[in-house]
Amino acid sequence: MYIITFYAITGVDVEHLLSDINAHAPVQRRSLAEYLDSKDLTYKTRSGHTCELTREEINKLNSVCEERYKLSLRLPLIVTTDTVSSTPAWRSEGKAEVSVISKLLSKTPARDDLILFYHPHLRELQKMLPNCVVVLFVP
């Protein structure tokens, strides 16, 4: 309803705009275990670009990831806008992702499958793993 109203008022196709904003989203994500066993450390984005993770980032994730999550932890890590909270925040979901991110940031998660954090934490995460973190806009 809001998208249709916005389009009628402004003439801007919001769905197209949002797809452009998230063009850097990975098409397919492989597990940490797959990256550990592979020489190919790349992934493709929706825009068709190829991004490369570093062996150092893979090893850092491996050092904090519990063995039981190495097959389920998908890379790159996805961080999205949190549109549910009353204050602006970032979020990541999934038990494996939350386990790893909470250890890296020394932060207690909201639930075992959800972690909320603020911009300084996002910057810290991006500094630790510059090629392994993808930020997506979710309205």
pLDDT of 20-39, one tens digit each? 788 889 999 999 999 999 99
Domain boundaries, the chain: 2-136
CA distances from 7 to 16, 18, 19, 134 (A): 11, 13, 15, 28
Residue 19 pLDDT class (50, 70, 90 cuts) = low
Q: Kindly state the DSSP code that residue 68 receives in the 8-state scheme.
A: G
Q: pTM of this prediction?
A: 0.83
H or E, element range at 11: none
Relative to beta strand 77-82, strand 133-136 is parallel
* pLDDT tens readout for residues 85-134: 778 899 999 999 999 999 999 999 999 999 999 999 999 999 999 999 99
Q: Please give the Cα distance from 66 to 108 (Å, whole number).
A: 16
| pLDDT, position 2 | 47
